[in-house]
Amino acid sequence: MKCAIWCAPCTPSRYIKYLNPASWILWLDFDTALSEINTTYVFFAAKNCNFLHNFNMKTSLKLNNGSEMPMVGYGMWQSDTPEELESALNTALAVGYRHFDTAWGYRNEDVFGRVLKKWFAEGKVKREELFIVTKLPPTGNHPDRIELYLLDSLKALQLDYVDLYLIHNPATIKTQPDGFTPVRDANGRIVVDTSATLEQSWWKLEEQVTLGRCKAIGLSNFSPEQVIRICKCAKSIKPANHQVELNASYPRKELRKVCAANGVTVTAFAPLGSPGRKIYKGYTATGADSIVPIPPLLTDPVVTRIAGKHGKTPAQVLLRFLGQLDIITLAKSVNADRIKSNFALTGWELDSQDMADLDGLDLKVEGGTWGFDWKNALGGIEDHPEFQLAG
């Protein structure tokens, strides 16, 4: 890890005698610095003058299978029309996005597949240059149906494999014999399926990696306890990534600690607070009944001030903030200018005060909801013992 030596308002001369002079450069290796600085003065300096701060934002994170996952991805949730999404995908590919996130449940894998086929045929991009993520829906989260759904996704995408395959939700929905149609009760509510465990689903996913249908596997919308369970049960392949709602107001610090301790990278969906969401509910603190509303992050005074300071958009500030914390981000937009600006996160950085100010936006809540209307769309899924999302 690289870090900056920043001693203002203290002067470098007060600390340079505690360093090997050969190492007194603007950027130096963190471990080398710690070995050469008297520990007492490191903590004194860190407390009084922001002595060490990580300004770097990687372009990718290495997963536990050795592959590199780009830090900035294009998300395909809630695109209004196939034509709109196709245009946005062409823009994103032209801009330089190489990480794309979709899901069986988004019902747009076929649109992406058509775009990819065209780009491959025209020689504009190679398959190995892309990092493609899709997800297993609750109807498929059963060892008897995982292969069915993954093959269906690959067919729609017109691909032989995906780079990362995620369990979209830890709950499972019972299906008709076709494996796709949800079973509903007399009141129209979803009937949950508890005939298999998460652990059994994970073992089946490991088989799909061995078969070459996905390079890595991971989780989405799991609790810290569920992440630990899957990591412990894995036979040979642990989760490579966990995708969750995460932003400056909802940084999921405890969940991130669990993921880091188990070598699981984290991807943030709704990194801007999901301003385009169709339904909004806010967050509920664990064990509390009252809703804690999420502020509009893109117009938050702290965010807009920092954006003005750097000559960047509020969205760029929010994405860069997470990137400097080694959190992969998914920004969804169909606006060409925003697609471009959301990708322009290199060549500048947030300083330690910026990072501290943005960290101060933390609402300090866990157990949130990003506002999907479960009761109308999948009412009944909340009855599953593994279900985690409120709504």
pLDDT computed for residue 35 by the predictor: 40
Using a 10 angstrom Cβ sphere, with 0-12 exposed, 13-18 middle and 19 or more buried, the burial of residue 10 is middle
Catalytically annotated residue among 15, 74, 97, 106: 106
Please state, in angstroms and rounded to a whole number, the distance separating the CA atoms of residues 183 and 267.
Answer: 31
Residue 15 is among the residues annotated as catalytic for this protein: no
Q: Which two tokens stand for residue 355?
A: 């990072």
Please state, in angstroms and rounded to a whole number, the distance separating the CA atoms of residues 292 and 369.
Answer: 10
| pLDDT tens digits, 89-139 | 999 999 999 999 999 999 999 999 999 999 999 999 999 999 999 999 999
| pLDDT tens digits, 194-227 | 999 999 999 999 999 999 999 999 999 999 999 9
pLDDT computed for residue 372 by the predictor: 55
pLDDT computed for residue 275 by the predictor: 64
pLDDT computed for residue 133 by the predictor: 99
pLDDT > 80? residue 43: no
Are 36 and 17 in contact by the 8 Å Cβ rule? The answer is no
Q: What mean pLDDT is reported for the chain?
A: 84
Q: Which residues contact 387 (CB under 8 A, 6 or more apart)?
A: 169, 170, 171, 381
CB atoms within 10 A of CB 26: 8
pLDDT band per the 50, 70, 90 thresholds, residue 75: very high
Whole-number percent of the chain with pLDDT over 70? 76
pLDDT band per the 50, 70, 90 thresholds, residue 6: very low
Q: Which two tokens stand for residue 13?
A: 């001369």
CATH assignment of 60-383, given 3.90.79.10, 3.20.20.100, 3.40.50.1370, 3.30.750.24?
3.20.20.100
Please state, in angstroms and rounded to a whole number, the distance separating the CA atoms of residues 59 and 364.
Answer: 28
